[in-house]
Structure 1
């Protein structure tokens, strides 16, 4: 009897420890070296420090509703009420957003680039893959509208987790932008984690996901089930351009297809031929620009 109880206890301890380890991997996902991000973007020609330095801009600190600072840059080379906010992916910083910012600056927009919680210069101790980040994005949007007035034309561009964050924000019945561009978002965090567990770790997610979700609820006060852009996509009435690389094997392009199919009303879909995860612009720059132009021409003329 004692041996059976001991074995049961050890089994429980091992399983709980595995769940705790898994939630640690989520909450404290290893970030890229910020110096290497700068080096990568410079060497690829996507970040020119001299050109960037000449842009009229100012540093902005926005209060997160969770008590830490959100560090942003407001870049305003144009006398225009058109703005775009760039929402970067997990493990990146606002330096990765500069290439997208430049794309919109070339099209007459001003821009805000900012660091998500626990990334770059912003505060925050954990990553939540869009759950808490969506409220920070709302804080950035609210700050910009208070600063520039309610008549501005606003777009949001998000990449990977930043795209999921953007869709979760819009799905809160906020829909506070005039258009959205979702580049390689996941449609549902539970499905994404299940896919990665099977693909990378050869693990069966049926037991680990519910356990990790239980532990995450205790530690972070939210559920993996809450991080589901596809469950709220129908709340977004404004136009969305969905982008994904056909060869993405980290977040499958089928997730973007599902989001596109479920989105009601104005929408476009672009599946890039070249590149893997978050490489649609890097590997298909001319097509990416063309699709952006087609989307803006089609839907922004009525804004």
Structure 2
């Protein structure tokens, strides 16, 4: 009887500690869910991002001033189509080449960019004799969409744009897919799909290895979060993304898709890139199964290799593409 009373007393004394632990765990879980929701909005919901420069201003001191001004005044056709998923209306600019040609390029912009931000690349490839198609990705520019997909759902849109381009310009079309930053990752993710035989080569500039790797890097780089916080936080974000955006962030992998790619690919990356770290390009380069070439633009920051090397960049691109597009 006395032992039973003692055990009961001990259990009662334990209740405050147990309740305290439950309270702490509850606070941690709620905080993690709130943080995951916050970072989902930062990463996946289109809005102004303080860490992205989206200025429309073209400075005369810009080494690519002439190219940007050419694009600004160039006549553009407006193309539209329904997204591959059927949910959104997508918009693109089309610039036919100066002379009839079978050479075509699809140009893909970066995170929170839009087709107009790729004007210097359009000018470069148009000067090389290409018909140029420049889509706004889902949830960017004039295209509809609720969430950013980082290239994963967009890869099917790129394939659909490519088919539309071939239908417009004929079965003898030769197509190049070209992208920078998120557009570069989208190009790599597209490369692993079954594509029309008219797609001859891909150029990717500063694309990431995978969405999870980029999220993990930026959680440390921009927000200085310790490693032990990043994993659980990304897991929460991924779960929210699966519910709202249709995929787990771990699915969106350039590396995974490059393992299925046999198309020729030119990899370009700035040697001083601290947004998509330069080391990622070596992993991407190793993953592809097709003919490949790598150029590290020494000293160039993120998506700035062309501006850093305004004369060498077009030469590198032309020399690579001329091997595969005649």
Is TM-score (shorter-chain normalized) higher than 0.5?
yes
Work out the CA distance in 1 between the residues paired with 2:325 and 2:131. 15
Inter-partner Cα distance in structure 1 for 2:141 and 2:53: 11
Q: Partners of 2:68 and 2:132 in 1: how far apart?
A: 16
Q: Which runs of 5+ in 2 are unaligned?
A: 1-14
2:184 is equivalent to residue 163 of structure 1: yes
Report deviation, 1:10.
2.5
- Residue pair 1:94, 1:114 contacting (<8 A) in 2 also: yes
Q: Calculate the TM-score normalised by the size of structure 2.
A: 0.85
Task: Single out whichever of 244-253 and 71-80 deviates more from structure 2.
Answer: 71-80
In 2, Cα distance between equivalents of 1:29 and 1:175: 31
Partners of 1:85 and 1:157 within 8 A in 2: yes
CA shift at 1:32, angstroms? 6.6
Deviation at 1:108, TM superposition (A): 1.0
Residue 41 to residue 222, structure 1, CA distance change in 2 (3 Å): farther
Q: Matches of 1:273 and 1:163 in 2, distance apart?
A: 19
Q: Deviations over 1:92-124 (max 9, x none)?
A: 111111111111111111111121111111111
Aligned residues: 299
Q: Is the 8 A contact 1:173 1:235 kept in 2?
A: no
Residue of structure 1 in register with 2:90 after alignment = 70
Shift in CA distance, 110/242, structure 1 to aligned 2, threshold 3 Å: same
Return the alpha-carbon distance in structure 2 between the equivalents of residues 271 and 147 of structure 1.
36
Q: Determine the structure 2 residue equivalent to 1:174.
A: 195
Q: Which has the larger radius of gyration?
A: 2
Query: TM-score by structure 1 length?
Result: 0.91
Residue 120 of structure 1 corresponds to 141
Supply the distance in 2 between the matched residues of 1:256 and 1:101 (Cα, whole angstroms): 23
**RMSD of equivalent CA atoms:** 2.2
Q: Deviations over 1:136-167 (max 9, x none)?
A: 21221121122222220100110000011111
Query: Secondary structure in 1 aligned to 2:87?
Result: coil
- Answer yes or no: is the 8 Å Cα contact 1:37–1:92 preserved in 2: no
Task: Give 3-state SS (helix, strand or coil) of 1:70's partner.
Answer: strand
Q: Give runs of aligned pairs for residues 1-303 of structure 1, distance below 5 A.
A: 1=15, 2-31=19-48, 37-40=55-58, 44=62, 45=65, 46-48=67-69, 52-55=72-75, 57-65=76-84, 66-76=86-96, 77-174=98-195, 177-203=199-225, 204=227, 205-301=230-326
